[in-house]
Amino acid sequence: MQVQPYLFFDGRCEEALEFYKKTLGAEVEMLMRFKESPEPHQPGMIPPGSGEKVMHAALRIGEATVMASDGRCMGHPSFQGFALSVNARDGAEAERLFAGLAEGGQVQMPLAKTFFSPSFGMVADRFGVSWMVIVAQ
């Protein structure tokens, strides 16, 4: 069994995919737009003119797959009650990843040495997704 996160960016998915490609070296493995759906959408599912928005995407970050969508395209993504954790090889990589994720976001806990890691920090990126960056001991 495998559990994969599925993030709904509520209209900002393509922007998020580009950000994660640049910041984390992510690769988009699959992307389907609403206009490409083989079946018509139920009335009220997406706002008119949302055909170019992302219905489903699969994003490869290291060895993990994160799935994403624009969801209902209402423009108000909400990410609460969870964080994605990314393991960095060393302190230099942790600093680079943390700084990239923090660009336009909000630092929740600065990157620092802890009792469980030589480098750990928490940040919410510009989309509101919480990340924990850690160097495993």
pLDDT-based confidence at residue 50 (cuts at 50, 70, 90): confident
* pLDDT per position as a tens digit, 11-31: 999 999 999 999 999 999 999
What is the side-by-side order of every strand in the sheet holding 119-124? 84-88, 130-135, 119-124, 106-112
Q: Which domains does the chain show, CATH number per domain?
A: 6-69 (3.30.720.100), 84-135 (3.30.720.110)
pLDDT in tens, 79-125: 999 999 999 999 999 999 999 999 999 999 999 999 999 999 999 99
Q: How far apart are CA 122 and CA 36, in angstroms?
A: 37
pLDDT band at 48 (very low <50, low <70, confident <90, very high): confident
User: What pLDDT sits at residue 83?
Assistant: 97
Q: What pLDDT shows up at residue 43?
A: 77
- Band the pLDDT of 63: cuts 50, 70, 90: very high
